[in-house]
Each structure stands twice: as structure tokens, then as C-alpha cells.
Amino acid sequence: MFKLPGQKSQEILKRDKKYTSSSYFREYPFVVEKGKGMYIFDVDGNKFLDFGAGFACCSTGHCHPEIVRTIEKQAKTLIHIDGAVFSYPCFVNLAEKLVEITPGSKSKKVFFGNSGAEAVEAAMKLVRHATKRPRMIAFYNSFHGRTYGAMSLTASKAVQRDGFTPLVPGITHVPYPYCYKCSFNLSYPSCNFACIDYIENEIFHTTTPPDEVGALFAEPIQGEGGYIVPPDGYFKELKKLLDKYGILFVDDEVQSGMGRTGKMFAIEHWGVVPDMVCIAKGIASGMPISALVTRAELMKWKSGAHASTFGGNPVCCVAALTTIRLLEKGLVENAKKQGKHLLKALKGLMSKYPIIGDVRGKGLMIGVEFVKDGEVRDKIVYQCFEKGLLLLGCGTNSIRFSPPLILEREHIDKALAIFEDVLRKI
Ligand SMILES: Cc1ncc(COP(=O)(O)O)c(C=O)c1O
């Protein structure tokens, strides 16, 4: 076991506390110096196996040589010019590529931002603009970001709203298909999707007239809310309901997209084509860029109606194009293969350790939920950190396994050995 945090880490953490926003959360006292592939090193020289990937951003691992080369080359050529005003080849190339790889017809258009929240904000504005309908629906437990619009959709933790109201009006939250803790106390499939029925027969008849609803925003697998996977058939049924009332489906793939679940986009697991897709995190291996991809006929706002100075920055665009090439060349397939093995092994631990209540996931987006709330989960995450494994919590009592997609069997074995050792002793 390491002695953590080391001397240098302690010094930096002291200054971190003094000078940086108190809103940042520090799951454990970890001060990073560098990363390489599946590993990160702290400033004291300790080495950690990374199963968090910088909150699912470092899709190709840390400092993948091809990403580094691409960034270096672009940085020597052109760093910034503002895609809102001037076009350049990698801006258009990336838009064209995203149109090709997102679900649905090839008649789509792309808006670039810098963060997940910015992609969601763009979607909210475009929904209002395109449909002229004022209301939106989102899910309890969802996380869509922390800017005012995105925060108004988000219903994950009270602290994210506390002191910030009033929020954007006209947003109704409904229960997510969280079968492990069903809001209706029913079981799938005999529930017959009571949670969808509730939207039509309760929500639409009481608080939220459907012809005023522009869109429903959904994460195909809830991320921050606990890595919650809806049951098969849910999204098909939901889309039928939305189509019946002319409501758009905005698919927030910020965390689940870019190959993480073993398909380029998680919604593809259920064969549903969204009207808009929000993308960020894993798109550029950790470089800050996001995108909103929509059906072309929806994106008819006037020149100047919406833009972002840095959105689609050239260095980020080339990093995204190289990331997508690496994903297509094998990393999406690897996420599927390694994810299957990891999921099976974690399910095996569930039958051995009764403190685990549920294990669920697709590809390398896997959640382990503990029977008891909070404290046990936090202890496990901390003790794994002390043994050199970086994990992150999600929801109130779950741990997410979201490693880089370059993960190999040896990394899984190593991580599981540490995780089980901690479980055994907790
Ligand atoms: C599904 C989802 N949407 C949006 C966001 C917001 O992204 P960002 O933090 O880049 O603004 C996140 C971040 O975790 C997310 O998981």
C-alpha cells in the first residue's frame, strides 16, 4: 500500500484548497502529474490504474501517441480562428464525419461547442426555435450539465440546484426506467412500461399538455445518476409515444457515446433514431469539444442566432477526427469485448458479496450498486485508490467502471484483484 497523499501532493492540495473554487469536489487526495495509456502518475511518482478515464473523456487512453502527434502537428499550423465566422477543413471534415456516424439519415447538421452542457444548451435553444413549443421533459436522476438550461434539465443531486433558483421554466421531470429501484414498485417485463404510461396518462393530463412539449431529453444510459441501463424495448415504446404527440427526442450521449458502450452511440443498442444527439467527453480523447447533431430540417436558425467562439477549435477538431479513426479501427469493438468480460466478472462478485445489490452496464459503461447508501461506496472507492486503482462514484451508492477503451484483459484482472481485496475486507 502507498502512503497517500505524498509530500508534493499534500503541498499542492493545500494551495488547491486556498485558491480554487470550493464547488470542486475531490473524491480522494489525488494530484496528477502525467498519464500514459491505462495509467496515471501522481506528482509523488505513484502509479495508478485508471478506471475512470477522466470522467469517461480519455477514450483512447492517456496521451495516445497518434492523438499527441495530431495535436502537435495542428498546433504548429493553426491553433484558433473562430469557426463561428470562418470555415476551415477540419471543422467541415469533423461535421461530415459526425453526420456519417450518428444514427439516422445522412441529412443532418452539426453545431460545435466546448462542453457537454454547451451541446445540451444548443439543443434546448434549437428545440424552442424549431418547434415553437415552450415545454420540455427530462428524467429524475438525469445529468445534463451545470449551465442554467442544462441544470434545469438535470435532476441528479439537490446540491446542484441549491441556491440557484429560479431555473428555466417549463421543464417536467418523470421517472427513469430504473428497474432495480422501480418508482412504481413493479418488475420488468410484467410492468408493461408503466413509467411510459404514466407520462401519457398522468403527466399529459395534469401538468404538461403534450402539444406544448417541444422535446424529451434522455441519456440512453444514465451516467452521473448511477450508470442505469433501461430495459430492452423501453426506448422503442417511448419513441412511439413521442411520435404520437409530435415531441422531439433529444439523445444525450455526452457520457454514453463515442464507442463507450460497444456501439458508437448507446441508443443504437435499441434501434431508435433520435432527432438530435448531444456529444462531448470521449469525442476527442480529452480535448474540449462538443457537438449537437440534428436532422437538417430542424436546424434552420438564422445566421448569428447561436455560436460559440472556441466551439470547433482546429486542435480539438483534429483530435476528434483521429479519435474517431481509432474508435472505428477497433476500440469500439474492444469496448464490447472487454466490457462483456468485465460485466461477467463483476456479476460473479455480486453473487459472492451480498453488499453488492446490482451490476449493470453495456460495453465499458458498467455500474456496481451497493445495497446500502453512500458511506460503504465511498470507503471502497477510497481504499481502491490507496491500492492503486482509480474508480469514481455515481448516483447515491454506485461505483462506475468507465476505463479507457484501450483496456486489455490484464488491466481487468489487476483491477478486479484490487476491487475484490477491498470488498473482502470492508
Ligand atoms: C450525460 C451528460 N450530459 C451532459 C454533461 C455535461 O458535460 P460537461 O461537464 O462537459 O458540461 C455530462 C457530464 O458529466 C453528462 O454526463
The CA distance from 166 to 129, in Å, is 22
Q: What is the DSSP letter of 173?
A: E
For ligand 1, whether the C-beta of 115 sits within 6 Å is: yes
Task: Answer whether 218 contacts ligand 1 (Cβ < 6 A).
Answer: no
Distance CA 33, CA 404 (A): 18
| Predicted pLDDT of residue 84 | 93
Q: Is 223's C-beta closer than 6 angstroms to any atom of ligand 1?
A: yes
Give the sheet arrangement for strand 392-394, strand by strand: 356-362, 365-370, 398-401, 392-394
> What's CA 302's distance to the chain center, in Å?
30
260 ligand 1 Cβ < 6 A = no
Answer yes or no: is the C-beta of 255 below 6 A from any ligand 1 atom: yes
C-alpha to C-alpha distance for 344 and 341, rounded to whole angstroms: 5
Q: What is the pLDDT of residue 1?
A: 52
Cα(252) to ligand 1 centroid in Å equals: 9
> How many Cβ atoms from other residues are within 10 Å of residue 274's Cβ?
27
Nearest-angstrom CA–CA distance, 48 and 45: 10
Q: How far is the CA of 145 from the centre of ligand 1 (A)?
A: 5
Atom index in ligand 1 nearest the CA of residue 142 equals 1
Which ligand 1 atom sits closest to the C-alpha of 224?
16
Question: In ligand 1, which atom is closest to the CA atom of 117?
Answer: 11
Residue 118 CA: nearest ligand 1 atom is: 11
Nearest residue by C-alpha to atom 16 in ligand 1: 255
Closest approach atom of ligand 1 to CA 256: 1
Alpha helices in 158-256 (DSSP H): 194-198, 234-244
- Closest Cα to atom 8 of ligand 1: 116
Domains of the chain: 7-63+333-425 (3.90.1150.10), 66-326 (3.40.640.10)
Which residue's alpha carbon is at the smallest distance from atom 3 of ligand 1? 144
C-alpha dist (Å) from residue 396 to 223, 253, 293, 368 = 12, 21, 31, 11
What grid cell was written down for 31?
A: 494530484
Q: How would you classify the pairing of strands 276-279 and 290-295?
A: antiparallel
Cell of 25: 469536489
Nearest Cα residue to atom 4 of ligand 1: 144
How far away, in angstroms, is 1 Cα from ligand 1 center?
A: 33
Instruction: Report the chain's mean pLDDT, rounded to a whole number.
Output: 97
Cβ of residue 117 lying under 6 Å from some atom of ligand 1: yes
Residues of the chain where predicted confidence (pLDDT) is lower than 70: 1-2
Whether 42 is in the pocket of ligand 1, judged by its Cβ within 6 Å, is no
Residue 2, pLDDT score:
63
Distances (CA, A) of 20 to 26, 160, 162: 12, 18, 20
Mutate to test the pocket of ligand 1, among 59, 144, 222, 316 (most ligand atoms within 8 A of CB): 144
Q: Which of 254, 258, 261 to mutate to test the pocket of ligand 1 (most atoms within 8 A of CB)?
A: 254
